[in-house]
């Protein structure tokens, strides 16, 4: 049976969420520099073993409090946003300088719900993460607190991390928290609370264990937002782990047998994605493809522009298009990487020519193999 450790060890793509309470000392309000340096070590080890790591880091508001003279987390949105503005730049600086010691280049991405829910912003964000990972860069993601208004704000980074995990098709999401996992009631108030090392489903009974959101600690979410995150992650085919990250080297500690709560996914991210693509019913366009392309798709390849003989319809990048074989039959469908104007220009052409034709290099295939299904 999958354990929290194997969910980390076998992940090709791992999202690690770092809560505010870990990064910022609750008494001094300063950065826990040694802790972050040790985390950089863990991330370097994961990367060396071939795991792609994406970090979702809170801490902007907490880091901006001391410089602005706030002694508690500001209640007013504009004050929290001012703190985030001051704190985020410090946070990024800290990541940059501490990860540099391990020859790790980091890239900052600040997201709002908009980018996670609306195409083509979603596709741009996803492609940026892909481009960073291809180059060995560790993306460090936070909510863009300074522009997100209250109605469209996550506020906690648990759900943001789960949406990111879903967006990048991560296998496992690790929430590093100030608590080692889920108990049947809040263990900070009930010393007899029972710990779970595995939760198969987020039932109403499980949700009732989490209690209301916390507002007292440097973090914001409490256990309930972690369970909401688990629902999002599991729906995306991503397993989730809650573990205590307070002590240095949390990932190393997991390897040494430290306990954690695992929410195991019952399916993988790619299967979920393919099921979703299969369920889509309204193509915005048609790509007529030759016999060679049909054979390549059957072997699991991406659809290259070279195999396309005709482009029909007015579609945008990311829209659903259907593939028609040489005999006029429906072969499959997928999410296209170019809009119809550019697709028309590159149809039948080799990918090497795409730059000359379009003046930019898009994704290497017209429809990537992860974005298509045969019907």
Ligand X SMILES: N[C@@H](CCC(=O)OP(=O)(O)O)C(=O)O
Only segment of 119-127, 205-213, 216-224, 349-357 that touches ligand X (CB under 6 A):
216-224
Is residue 173 within 8 A of residue 17, CB to CB? The reply is yes
Residue 348: left (phi > 0), alpha (psi -120 to 50), or beta?
left
Listed residue (190, 317, 193, 229) closest to 19, CA to CA: 229
Encoded one letter per residue, x for contact with ligand X by CB under 6 A and - for no contact, window 128-147 reads --------------xx-x--
Report the nearest approach of ligand X to the CB of residue 123 (Å).
23
Q: Per rule CB under 6 A, is residue 174 in the interface with ligand X?
A: no
Q: Per rule CB under 6 A, is residue 19 in the interface with ligand ADP?
A: yes
| Residue 186: contacted member of ligand ADP, ligand X, none (CB under 5 to 8 Å, by partner type) | ligand ADP
Three-state secondary structure readout of the chain: CCCHHHHHHCCCEEEEEECHHHHECCCCCCECHHHHHHHHHHHHHHHHCCCEEEEEECCHHHHHHHHHCCCCCCCCHHHHHHHHHHHHHHHHHHHHHHHHCCCCCEEEEEECHHHHHCCCHHHHHHHHHHHHHHCCCEEEEEECCCCCCHHHCCCCHHHHHHHHHHHCCCCEEEEEECCCCCECCCCCCCCCCCECCECCCCCHHHHHHHCCCCCCCCCCCHHHHHHHHHHHHHHCCCEEEEEECCCCCHHHHHHCCCCCEEECCCCCHHHHHHHHHHHCCCCCEEEEECHHHHHHHHCCCCECHHHEEEEEECCCCCCEEEEECCCCCEEEEEECCCCHHHHHHHCCCCHHHHHHHHCCCCCCCCECHHHEEEC
Residues 81-100 that bind ligand X (CB under 6 A): 84
Q: Per rule CB under 6 A, is residue 178 in the interface with ligand ADP?
A: yes
Q: Which is nearer to ligand ADP, 261 or 302 (CB)?
A: 261
List the one residue from 183, 315, 323, 338 that touches ligand ADP (CB under 6 A): 183
Residues 52-81 that bind ligand X (CB under 6 A): 58-62
Tokens representing 296 are: 């390549």
Q: Per rule CB under 6 A, is residue 115 in the interface with ligand X?
A: no
Q: Which is nearer to ligand X, 41 or 220 (CB)?
A: 220
Is residue 269 within 8 A of residue 237, CB to CB? The reply is yes
Only segment of 155-163, 195-203, 267-275, 336-344 that touches ligand X (CB under 6 A):
155-163
Q: Per rule CB under 6 A, is residue 155 in the interface with ligand ADP?
A: no
Listed residue (98, 81, 90) closest to 33, CA to CA: 98
Only segment of 215-223, 291-299, 326-334, 339-347 that touches ligand X (CB under 6 A):
215-223
Q: Which is nearer to ligand X, 156 or 171 (CB)?
A: 156
Q: Per rule CB under 6 A, is residue 219 in the interface with ligand ADP?
A: yes
Report the nearest approach of ligand X to the CB of residue 65 (Å).
10
Residue 59: left (phi > 0), alpha (psi -120 to 50), or beta?
left
Q: Which is nearer to ligand ADP, 245 or 307 (CB)?
A: 245
Q: Which is nearer to ligand X, 86 or 366 (CB)?
A: 86
List the one residue from 83, 94, 209, 272 that touches ligand ADP (CB under 6 A): 209
Encoded one letter per residue, x for contact with ligand ADP by CB under 6 A and - for no contact, window 258-297 reads ----------------------------------------
| Residue 108: contacted member of ligand X, ligand ADP, none (CB under 5 to 8 Å, by partner type) | none
Q: Which is nearer to ligand X, 143 or 171 (CB)?
A: 143
| Longest Cα–Cα distance in the chain | 71
List the one residue from 63, 106, 168, 210 that touches ligand ADP (CB under 6 A): 210
Instruction: Tell whether 76 is in a known binding site.
Output: no
Report the nearest approach of ligand X to the CB of residue 84 (Å).
6
List the one residue from 25, 79, 130, 186 that touches ligand ADP (CB under 6 A): 186
| Binding-site ranges for ligand X (CB under 6 A) | 19-20, 58-62, 84, 142-143, 145, 156-158, 219-221
User: Which residues carry a binding-site annotation for ATP?
Assistant: 17, 177-178, 220-226
């Amino acid at each position: 049976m999958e354990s929290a450790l194997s969910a980390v060890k076998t992940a090709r793509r791992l999202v690690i969420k770092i809560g505010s309470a870990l990064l910022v000392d609750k008494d001094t309000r300063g950065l826990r520099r040694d802790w972050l340096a040790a985390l950089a070590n863990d991330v370097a080890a994961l990367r060396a073993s071939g795991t792609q790591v994406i970090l979702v880091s809170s801490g902007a508001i907490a880091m901006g409090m001391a410089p602005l003279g706030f002694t508690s987390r500001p209640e007013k949105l504009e004050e929290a946003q001012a703190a985030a503005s001051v704190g985020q730049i410090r946070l990024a600086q800290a990541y940059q300088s501490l990860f540099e010691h391990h020859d790790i280049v980091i890239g900052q991405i600040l997201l709002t719900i908009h980018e996670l829910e609306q195409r083509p912003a979603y596709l741009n964000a996803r492609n940026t993460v892909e481009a960073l990972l291809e180059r060995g860069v560790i993306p460090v993601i936070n909510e863009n607190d300074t522009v997100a208004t209250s109605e469209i704000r996550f506020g906690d980074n648990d759900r943001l991390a789960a949406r990111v995990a879903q967006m990048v098709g991560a296998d496992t999401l690790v929430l590093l928290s100030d608590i080692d996992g889920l108990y049947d009631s809040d263990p900070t108030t009930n010393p007899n609370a029972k710990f779970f090392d595995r939760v198969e489903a987020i039932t109403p009974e499980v949700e009732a264990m989490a209690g209301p959101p916390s507002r007292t600690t440097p973090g914001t979410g409490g256990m309930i937002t972690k369970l909401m995150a688990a629902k999002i992650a599991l729906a995306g085919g991503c397993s989730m782990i809650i573990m205590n990250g307070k002590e240095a080297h949390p990932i190393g500690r997991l390897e040494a047998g430290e306990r954690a709560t695992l929410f195991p996914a019952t399916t993988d991210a790619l299967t979920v994605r393919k099921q979703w693509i299969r369920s889509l019913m309204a193509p915005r366009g048609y790509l007529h493809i030759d016999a060679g392309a049909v054979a390549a798709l059957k072997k699991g390849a991406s659809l290259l522009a070279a195999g396309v003989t005709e482009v029909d319809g007015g579609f945008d990048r990311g829209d659903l298009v259907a593939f028609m074989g040489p005999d006029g039959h429906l072969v499959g469908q997928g999410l296209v990487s170019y809009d119809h104007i550019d697709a028309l220009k590159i149809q039948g052409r080799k990918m090497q020519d795409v730059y000359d034709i379009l003046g930019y290099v898009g994704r290497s295939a017209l429809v990537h193999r992860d974005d298509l299904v045969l019907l």
